[in-house]
A and B are shown apart, each in its own frame.
Chain A
Amino acid sequence: MRPEKTNRGDFLKTLFIALSSLIAFSARVFASKPEDEAVQERGEHRWGMVIDLDRCTGCQACVVACSVENNQMLGGPEEASMGRIIRWLKILPKTEVEGRHIRQSLIPMPCQQCEDPPCTRVCPTSATFMNPEGIVGQVYDRCIGCRYCVNACPYTCKFFNWGEPRWPKDVEKPFNPDISVRYKGVVEKCLFCHHRLQRAKDKARAEGRPVKENDYIPACAASCPAQAIVFGDINNPESEVSKLASSHRAYKMLEELGTKPKITYLREG
């Protein structure tokens, strides 16, 4: 028996409904309010950082603290020669020449934790995303290793595991148990020491109070001997970061790209 023929009108109606819902859906996806605004309305914490380049001595204590804290691969000459060493926080050397006067500055560069991150937008699997507190995260177990986010990041602050990370025997023992060890083929990045935030939250919950601003700072800020790195809640106008960020020396890296980083630099005086 032949199935009943579909009425043309019905078919067109269904098609119209399907198309308009598709358009409505994509409109929602594209035109939805930026996540940061929604969060700011909720009045939660928004973690940010100020790096005072006038105080920074370029000692790289933050680089070491970051890589130990986050179980980053050590890397050998082989990786170094191919530019495959992973350091979530790096020192960007910058040379400025004015006539005969040459000035070398060293800029500590963690992930800029953009408010409008180019990396999360392009990820095909949502492996990289922004959490409600503004931290741009990475789900290693979902990442397919396409390196699109790495290409989209104008700061080149995301890292790909080109091979299986290796450590000398003795270094493997004191791994930080709070943070997973990555494996080959996935992208990783600075997470503002998110595991420390988790700890602080657990502690606050045990004590029956909300998380306070000073409950946690990332490893780089903790290790800086010159106290050039200040970490805190940029949602709170009274916090030290907010005050420093309104300094006349304050600037954002590649501000013209509109990524709205949550890392603020204070220019050398």
Chain B
Amino acid sequence: MTPGQLSTLVRPKPELPYSPQFQSGIWWETRAKLDPVESRILSPLVKKPNANFWIAVVILGAIFLWGLIAWAWQIKNGLKATGLNAPVFWGIYLVNFVFFIGISHAGTLISSILRITDTEWRRPFTRAAEAITVFSLPFGAGSVIVDLGRPDRLLNVILYPHFTSPILWDVICISTYMVTSLLYFYLALIPDIALCRDKLSVAAGPIRKFLYETLSLGWAGSEDQWKTLHKITAGMSVFLFVLVISVHTNVSFVFGLTTKPGWHTAVIGPYFVVGAIFSGVATVILAMIAIRKWFHLEAYLTESHFNSIAKFLLGLCCFWFYFTMVEFLTVFYGRETAHMAVFNAKFFGEYAWLFWTMFACCFLIPLPVLAIKKFRTIPNLTWLCVVINIGMWLERYTIIVPSGTRPYLTWGIGRYTPSWVEWSITAAWLSGFCLLFIVFTRLFPILTIWEVKEGMESPAKEKT
């Protein structure tokens, strides 16, 4: 379908009087013939949210506020409110940092790489993937700010930059990434916001009507506009692809460029990138399964879509195993005393239960479920994606903490238990992320309508 044809789907702002139509339980305001795809995907935006939604919002909001209180407590008392000590100077705040930046990667990866390669099954996933990117990045950056002893001096990084510091590279990379992915997300959203503006101006209240009108930037769906949009998104896809690799490599550099045993390895860069995409894709699948169930979008998120993305996840799972194997085999054969101390702590020592749980969650359990066709079902994917995310969080934990407890010289207590403050902030960041996501699903279409429609117009490609 050409952009020109598409433009007929998105009407310019209608003039009065309208002729409201009653369909799927809602009054739709439209002059054009109602499109079944649009009405289906837009319906969550106009239906009154049920009690479960409000309960979820209240619970998530309460946890988030609790986390902010915990942070205030930490600011008042200093970082002694955490379980950190000498020599474990970095704990679960840094784990959360890597975790959130990690899941943010799937968004851009799915929408940019799969858009570049024009993969068919990406179509219903792109919007949710980008939303996950945009909503998880602030919490990733927030995790580092929480970790600072003096968060009030954050601007010193920009005022007195020291160019050899990987943290400065991170600040540059992540802020670029945040701005670019927000733009990318917004650009693909414009045609859909315009659709909301045109179709929902009665159903949505005056505030949302104003929101849609402002944010759609006067999109009329003309051929020129489509051409520009496609051109920009194509260009940004390439740029974002490079950015994804560089951002997570830089995140790994924060650890890999020190000489700390267990961190100082060249493979940590690609290992982090693969791990990030692995956990990110799992998060996207989880979000899409939830959306499919809540909003009854079974027709647009089909079994075959999930089958394809599950195969992609299987590939990432194998890659992840490959990097893990390379990493530990190198350490094991090198037999350096300091590095072996960390290795032993992970494989047989006090971190063994975490390490092997992690290994089971990231590889032993996902591999058969994803590889055997009979098991690759949506209910199985639901719990599996939770398991993978737990595993990937533990993976970051077992990278960061055991190295902290085994420095070159044996100082200090060499153990670490996160305090209630750290757990509260972790829970808060996770709830904040979920909260942003579920509120978003009520305000904007969670499936990229124009992209899904493009796919439906060319059913020949559907099989890929």
Cβ A160 vs Cβ B171 within 8 A: no
Q: For chain B residues 48-92, which have a beta carbon within 8 Å of chain A?
A: 77-80, 84-87, 89-90
Quick check: is B149 within 8 A (CB to CB) of the other chain? Answer: yes
- The answer to whether B165 touches A151 (Cβ under 8 A) is no
Q: With A162-B80, A163-B80 as given contacts, are A145 and B148 in contact (CB-CB < 8 Å)?
A: yes
A90:B411 contact, CB within 8 angstroms: yes
Write out the residue numbers on chain B whose beta carbons fall within 8 Å of the beta carbon of A155: 408-409
Q: Is A102 an interface residue (CB 8 A)?
A: no
Q: Is A123 an interface residue (CB 8 A)?
A: yes
- Judging by beta carbons under 8 Å apart, are A144 and B153 in contact? yes
CB B218 to nearest CB in A, in angstroms, measures: 19
Whether B40 sits at the interface, judged by CB under 8 Å, is no
Interface string of A141-161 (1 = CB under 8 A from B): 011111110111011100111
Count of chain A residues near B, Cβ 8 A: 45
Cβ contacts under 8 Å, A146 to chain B: 144, 147-149, 167
A186's partner among B149, B163, B258, B408 (CB-CB below 8 A) is: B149
**B202 adjacent to chain A (CB < 8 Å):** no
Q: In this assembly, does A58 line the interface, its C-beta being within 8 Å of a C-beta of chain B?
A: no
How many residues of B are in contact with the other chain, CB < 8 A? 44
B89 → chain A, closest Cβ, in Å?
4
**Contact indicator B162/A125 (Cβ below 8 Å):** yes
Instruction: Find chain A residues with CB under 8 A from B166 CB.
Output: 122, 148
User: Nearest-CB distance from A247 to chain B (Å)?
Assistant: 23
Query: Which of A109, A185, A254 gathers the greatest number of chain B CB atoms within 10 Å?
Result: A185
Chain B neighbourhood of A124, CB < 8 A:
156-157, 161-162, 165, 167-168, 171
A164 within 8 A of B: yes
Q: Are A82 and B160 in contact (CB under 8 A)?
A: no
Report Cα–Cα, A84/B156, bound state, in Å. Answer: 26
CA distance A159 to B409 in the complex (A): 15
Quote the shortest CB–CB distance from A163 to chain B (angstroms): 4
Residue A223 lies at the interface, judged by CB distance under 8 Å to chain B: no
The docked-state distance in angstroms from the alpha carbon of A48 to that of B54 is 66
A122 touches B78 (CB 8 A): no
In this complex, what residue of A is CB-closest to B154?
A: A144
Say whether, besides A124-B161, A154-B259, A83 and B149 are in contact (CB < 8 Å). no
B87 shortest CB reach to chain A, Å: 5
In chain A, positions 54-93 with a C-beta closer than 8 Å to chain B are 79, 81-84, 90, 92
Q: Does A126 contact B (CB under 8 A)?
A: yes
Closest to A144 in B: B153
Whether A145 lies near B149 (C-beta < 8 A) is yes
Contacts of A126 in B (CB 8 A): 160, 162
Tell me which residues across on chain A come within 8 A of B150, comparing CB atoms: 143-145, 185-186
Q: How far is the CB of B398 from chain A (nearest CB, A)?
A: 17
Report if A29 contacts B (CB, 8 A): yes
Determine whether B260 belongs to the interface, using a CB cutoff of 8 Å to chain A: yes
Main secondary structure of the interface of B (DSSP, over half): loop
Q: Which of B86, B87, B167 contacts A148 (CB 8 A)?
A: B167
Contacts of B147 in A (CB 8 A): 146-147
In the bound complex, residues from chain A placing their C-beta under 8 Å from that of B404 are 151
Interface 0/1 of B116-134, CB less than 8 Å to A: 0000000000000000000
Q: Mark B157-190, 1 if CB is under 8 A from A, else 0.
A: 1011111111110010000000000000000000
Q: Name the one of B79, B165, B171, B409 contacting A92, with C-beta atoms under 8 angstroms.
A: B409
Tell me the nearest residue of chain A to B261, going by C-beta: A154
CB distance from B298 to the nearest CB of A (A): 47
A26 interface hit (Cβ, 8 Å): yes
Q: Give the residues in chain B near A1, CB-CB below 8 Å.
A: none
Residues A147 and B90 in contact in the complex (CB < 8 Å), given A84-B85, A152-B258, A155-B408: yes
Assembled-state Cα–Cα distance A146/B382 (Å) = 37
Give A124 to B170 CA distance when docked, in angstroms: 10
Instruction: Using A83-B86, A142-B153, A142-B156 as known contacts, say yes or no to A156 and B411 having CB atoms under 8 A apart.
Output: yes
Which of A83, A127, A164 neighbours the largest number of chain B CB atoms within 10 Å of its CB?
A83
Q: For the complex, is A30 an interface residue (Cβ under 8 Å from B)?
A: yes
In the bound complex, what is the Cα–Cα distance between A240 and B171 (angstroms)? Answer: 46
- Least CB distance, A118 to chain B, in whole angstroms: 6
User: In the assembled complex, which residues on chain B have CB atoms less than 8 Å from the CB atom of A84?
Assistant: 80, 85-86
Closest approach, in angstroms, between the C-beta of B147 and any C-beta of chain A? Answer: 7
Enumerate 18 A-B pairs (CB-CB under 8 Å) in ascending A order. Answer: A84-B86, A122-B165, A124-B157, A124-B161, A124-B162, A143-B149, A144-B148, A144-B150, A145-B148, A147-B90, A148-B166, A148-B258, A150-B89, A154-B259, A155-B408, A156-B412, A254-B409, A257-B259
Q: What 5 A-B pairs come out closest when comparing CB atoms?
A: A145-B149, A185-B149, A184-B78, A83-B412, A163-B80
Q: Name 5 extra pairs, CB < 8 A, besides A84-B86, A124-B156, A150-B89.
A: A125-B153, A125-B160, A148-B165, A160-B79, A257-B408
